[in-house]
Amino acid sequence: MEVIDSDIVIVGAGISGLATSLALHRLGVKSVVLEASDQLRTTGFALTIWGNAWRALDALGVSEALRQQHMQLFELQATSLTSGKNTAEKPLKATGKHGEQEIRCLKRTVLLEALARELPQGTIRYSSKLVHFEGSGNYKLLHLADGTVIKAKILVGCDGVNSIVAKWLGLGKAAYTGRSTMRGFVSYEHKHGYEHKFWQYFGEGFRAGILPCDEKSVYWFLTYSPSTQTAGMEHDPSRMKQYVKSKLQNIDENIQAAIHNTSSDTIFSSPLRYRHPWEFFTRSISKGNVCVAGDAFHPMTPDVGQGGCAALEDAVVLARCIGRALSETGVEEHKRIEMGLAKYAKERRWRGFQLVLTAYLVGWIQVGNWKVTRFFRDKFLSSHLADLLLKSSDFDCGKLSVL
């Protein structure tokens, strides 16, 4: 059996995995990224990148090109489709504790390619699915589906909500929230003419949003509670599109056009999962020379738009902790690695807890169908919920430095 040596192995070439590898590369630390598919994964079409994530992208050195390709959004407008009234209008360029806000909706493919392009050739190993791993002294032996075995000093699980690495660490399976989300993406031949806004809509049992990515593309989403009416809908794009149109039939017709113009091959639905908040204090995201980041660490609902943003934060903090551990002296390397990953886990625990819990509660309030919930949401809470989006993103993960 041939065994390949690799100091740091990252499982998963999604946002978290690529960003962590790039952060390490910026610090002069080599890594290998294992990706089960034969190319970059682009499920999801787009994602909202808030101020905290731009600070991480600045640290990674890929922000400027992404800014040039995507529109900045300057206002959030929330509307209750129950009452038909605007319930909140918030400027999105407010200055917080960590500086001025910046919100853009990024094409997921563009973000992944920007991260991958900066990595040394050969860093990403495609068609490399991790089957299981085991300890071997101070190393981990990773067994891949094709029979390859990799010996790693450090193993980082960025393998999503069904993470093999998270399971090994004793983290529970991501729990189903009872809600699902539909996502759609539409590209125009010419400029769509939409304002630089983030439109949000709330109705009985659903929440929707529409965001322009650039001058010729628009991303939209709708979260809902599955019922007998929606059974099997996730496998039928035409039904999904019709369902969204029925829910948003009372919005401005110019905005509604984004749904109408979406093709069936750019619509998909998936269940919303999250980590039970108490796990952040009863379990650890690191053990010895193994840790997790991104969705493997903090799967959350999209209600504060922080899933991908938090993954970028994880990458900077984790690389910084690993870089410091590898550069220090005086203690055996495997002990320094263990302490470095433990420091990362401690630093990220409270942040992960806050985001997961906030997202879950915001989602529960926003789609609540009880009369009392609707009344307080429409009359008093909408403005506060909009503020929570800004508050959640008012965070700075710091610079990439081992000093």
Coil, helix or strand for 291? strand
DSSP string, 242-267: HHHHHHTTTS-HHHHHHHHT--GGGE
- Count of C-beta atoms within a 10 Å radius of residue 45: 21
Residue 170: DSSP 8-state: T
Rounded to two decimals, the pTM is 0.94
Which one, of 310, 393, 396, lies nearest residue 92 by Cα? 393
For 95-151, what is each residue's pLDDT tens digit?
A: 778 888 899 999 999 999 999 999 999 999 999 999 999 999 999 999 999 999 999
| Topology of the domain comprising 177-272 | D-Amino Acid Oxidase; Chain A, domain 2 (3.30.9)
- For 115, 136, 228, 324, the CA distances from 60, given in Å and listed in that order, are 9, 33, 46, 17
Residue 377 token pair = 């949401």
CA distance 335 to 326: 10
**Residues of CATH 3.30.9.30 domain(s) within the chain?**
177-272
Q: Check residue 84 and give its pLDDT.
A: 79
Q: Are 123 and 113 in contact (CB under 8 A)?
A: no
CATH 3.50.50.60, the chain: domain bounds = 3-71+107-176+274-393
What topology does CATH give the domain 3-71+107-176+274-393? FAD/NAD(P)-binding domain (3.50.50)
Q: Are strands 206-214 and 86-91 parallel, antiparallel or unpaired?
A: unpaired
Q: 371: pLDDT confidence band, cut at 50, 70 and 90? A: low
pLDDT over 60 at 9, yes or no = yes
Selection from 156, 122, 120 nearest residue 17 by Cα: 156
Task: Give me 306's structure tokens.
Answer: 């922080």
